[in-house]
Structure 1
Amino acid sequence: MLETSARLLRLLSLLQAHREWSGADLAERLGVTARTVRRDVDRLRELGYPVNASPGTGGGYQLGAGARLPPLLLDDDEAVAVAVGLRTAAGQGIEGIGESSVRALAKLEQVLPDRLRHRVSALNAFTVPMLRDGPPVSPVEPALLTELAHLCRDAERLRFEYRTHEGVAGRRTVEPHRLVCTERRWYLVAWDVDREDWRTFRVDRITPKPPHGPRFTPREGPAEDLAAHVSRGVSTRAYATHSAVRLLVPLHEAAERVSPSAGTLEPDGEHACVLRSGAPNLDVMVVHIMLLGLPFEVLEPAGLTEAVRTLRDRLDAALERSTARPAAG
């Protein structure tokens, strides 16, 4: 029994590795007869793995998409979550992770039932990555993500309750356009029907209120680069105070310190770049810039230079008091 189980796992691995195998090739790889291969294929089918067979000399065996998930101990939402996680990891650019994630995703998508493959496909087609390393926060239910992706794909209006940063809840009706994901949050870019303007909503603050609809004619998006558009919105436009500073380091070096949700970077020659960001007030802005640990010069607003000078004077005074104090004996 153990030998048979091991052979079935080996057969399943071979079927997942290539699109199609001839019976003779499988028999040679497994060290069994063609008849045993046919019996093992039947066992896999009984377990729920959809294996298609093509008759004739040019035929063979192929792992197809079935009407239900094979026994992977995953329910529908878990399967979607795994597929989304693998695709996100594949695009992260982490050494050794991307290629493995692509292979694993290809195997998973081969056996996803049609209903789940369509959900994952919609989510991928209507999601724009804005990724950077960092711990994930603000978890979102996979079912909510796929529901929003479907509405983007099918051009159906969405009604939902939305909680603001202050915790105030209100009703919104929008025409959903795209989902944008960062390393920390998911955002929905949509046309707000009541405000007649584009808005960006944090998905973890959205509670859908069906029924959805009616259908609408999709609009041209608010920007060609949606990731940059959302980055500007969450890092700058959302705040009362805006600033621009020149960081005296190359763009790639600054990008290691500045996440897309903290500000936007623009190249400024070979050895500098411009950081645009927002904050509740100038004092917070100064602290935010100082914590980057990078040399900089203020471009705007003029009041930011004075705020930097004030902080410098406070630090100088603190240093003078500290050095003037007698050392503890």
Structure 2
Amino acid sequence: MDRYERILSLHRTLKHARYPVTVARLQDELGCSRATVYRDLAFLRDALMAPIVGDGEAGFRYDAEEGNRFELPGLWLNSDELHALLAAQQLLSRSGGGVLSNALAPLQQRIEKLLDEHSAGKTWPVERVRVIPHHSRRMDEQAFRFVCSAVLERKQLSFEYRARSTDERTRRTVSPQRVTHYRGNWYLDAWDHDRDGLRSFSVDRITAARVLDTAARDIDESELDRHLAGSYGIFSGEPKGWATILFNARAARWVADEHWHSQQQGRHLPDGSYELKLPYSSPRELLMDVLHYGADATIVEPASLREQARALLALALSNYER
């Protein structure tokens, strides 16, 4: 245990102790000598201004009144937390899109400084931590900031929106409810005042955003979940039905560990295949996910979803008949 970890452990022990803790117990918990315990106690008391009371015979603890208010200044990390911070630093610096990189640059600089201070001259092999973006989309960083500001400040938001499905451009005024990160991309859940209902907007399709002075309309969290999270994927609306999908034994080894929906039901079958049941509203995203598994997945029911999958496969096959 290095010094940082000993100081952190010593602080936690003294802060939660109801009675004085003996030096022998501290030696055992910290895994160090008696002299080291006294040095750490002195550093904690004199340099960090910890309210330590007691002596070597009766033991040590924090003052009953001041100890409740005292916390270690700055940020103290043990080795596990330091390694997690290192991974987070790489995630910030190497994630694609750049939409958060500029806003979080000051935080990243502080993380790098902390890593330097805690490394004791050791060079961390940061190249061993890899972050590979997948299917992320480019977006207007200023629009993203306005979206987040409106959500947090509870203000209405005005913007131009270009729907991906129709390529239609419209001007919308909404009461932002929350931002959702889903499959590497950002979405805005909002009350659409022009459509008089809850809608989800892909943030990468938002331009010319402007935060208004008008207070946003707040929608109850349960209603948001019921409307926006009750169906499969990012598509909103009440579930229209349940789909049953059968994966063969090869695909089962992956699908059994995947999270598709909060209400999904899955079971292994005797032949090694895997049956997955889940609710859905719009079939489009569900079909894309199922077809991703190709011949390893079969939609069992409902019949309408089977027919849609059959039509999509036939259409795809026709592209190769020329």
- When the two structures are superposed, what TM-score results if normalisation uses the length of structure 2? 0.48
